[in-house]
Amino acid sequence: MSFSKEERALLMGAPGLGPAVIDRLEQVGVDSVQRLVDMGAEAAVSAVCRQLGTLSWANRLRALQRFCSAAEQARRASPARSAAAASPHRI
């Protein structure tokens, strides 16, 4: 699976995140913002680094941490939206 168009646009709008980052996340099974937030930026970066066999991708950690933090704050601010995002169809 892959990020929805809307989630892809959100990720692309974040500083330091682009199509290559999104592709790498999808390759390790991170296919939604909810899954990324639940997994955490550190675990997502570790998974990509393991897959690549190098730590060079670790430079994306701060950008992913900022994004996850903002996504979590938005989720807390909007309980109805959170319930929809946590739907089993989204995970």
- Write out pLDDT tens, residues 2-23: 999 999 999 999 999 999 999 9
Determine the Cα–Cα distance for residues 27 and 43; give it in Å rounded to an integer: 14
| Residues contacting 68, CB < 8 A, separation 6+ | 36, 37, 40, 41
pTM above 0.85, yes or no: no
pLDDT band per the 50, 70, 90 thresholds, residue 78: confident
| Mean pLDDT (the chain, rounded) | 86
Say what the pLDDT of residue 87 is.
39
Say what the pLDDT of residue 91 is.
37
Determine the Cα–Cα distance for residues 5 and 37; give it in Å rounded to an integer: 17
Say what the pLDDT of residue 53 is.
94
